Structure 1
Amino acid sequence: MTKSILLACAGGYSTSMLVEKMKKAAKEQGLEVMIEATAESNIAAFENIVDVILLGPQMGHMESEIAGRYDIPVSTIDMMDYGMMNGDKVLSTALKLIEKGKN
């Protein structure tokens, strides 16, 4: 089953670069994942189609508010991983959150 990951930041632009790195990492690992980037104001459009929401570090202060709106895991991307555009690490984090959320 394909896993769906949503990255959100203020405008959706900086996370879109990280999405490409994550897609590359998933392809290298032979994983079927859907990874999208969006602006914070558009998260609700993805509510029923994603398994996890990852927030850009600049939105970390909104994590508990956003998590309270949705019945899926929500977490802030580690600042170092975000800054280094570490697609492998962020993908791994997302997949772990999805698995944890199913328990």
Structure 2
Amino acid sequence: MSKSILLICGSGASSGFMAANMRKAAKKEGLDYKIKARSESELGDYMDDIDALMVGPHLKAEFDGIKERVPENVKVILMHADYYSILDGKGAIAHLQEELGD
């Protein structure tokens, strides 16, 4: 089953690179994940159509507030700085799978 994943960061720039790397890693693993990246300010436009929301580590201070804004059925995950800082798509996919129980 396909899962829709949204990545957000402050401006959408760094998460755009991360999303591209995650799409490559997911494809290699044979996972049907639709991964897109947007800025935090665009969250409201996308949150009803996603299964999981991955939040950039630099938004940690806003994490609880972001979590409160999304529907309860959406898994909200704070990305780890160790893989995010080097745009390690494989590490991000492993974390996502762990959180989703896939």
Instruction: Please confirm whether the aligned pair reaches a TM-score higher than 0.5, indicating the same fold.
Output: yes
Specify the alignment match of 1:56 in structure 2: 56
**1:98 to partner: Cα distance:** 2.7
CA 1:95–1:49 in 2, change beyond 3 Å: closer, same or farther? Answer: farther
**1:2 to partner: Cα distance:** 0.3
CA 1:95–1:44 in 2, change beyond 3 Å: closer, same or farther? Answer: farther
Indicate if the aligned counterparts of 1:52 and 1:97 stay in contact, CA closer than 8 A: no
Alpha-carbon separation, structure 2, partners of 1:42 and 1:98: 23
Specify the alignment match of 1:6 in structure 2: 6
Specify the alignment match of 1:23 in structure 2: 23
Alignment of 1:24-103 (within 5 A): 24-70=24-70, 71=72, 72-99=74-101
Alpha-carbon separation, structure 1, partners of 2:84 and 2:99: 17
SS of the equivalent of 2:101 reads helix
Runs of 4 or more above 2 Å deviation: 95-100
Instruction: Among all aligned residue pairs of Structure 1 and Structure 2, give the percentage whose two residues are the same amino acid.
Output: 28
Indicate if the aligned counterparts of 1:5 and 1:94 stay in contact, CA closer than 8 A: no
With the length of structure 1 as denominator, give the TM-score of the two structures. Answer: 0.89
With the length of structure 2 as denominator, give the TM-score of the two structures. Answer: 0.90
Over the aligned positions, Cα root-mean-square deviation in angstroms equals 1.4
Q: Which runs of 5+ in 1 are unaligned?
A: none
SS of the equivalent of 1:31 reads coil
SS of the equivalent of 1:48 reads helix
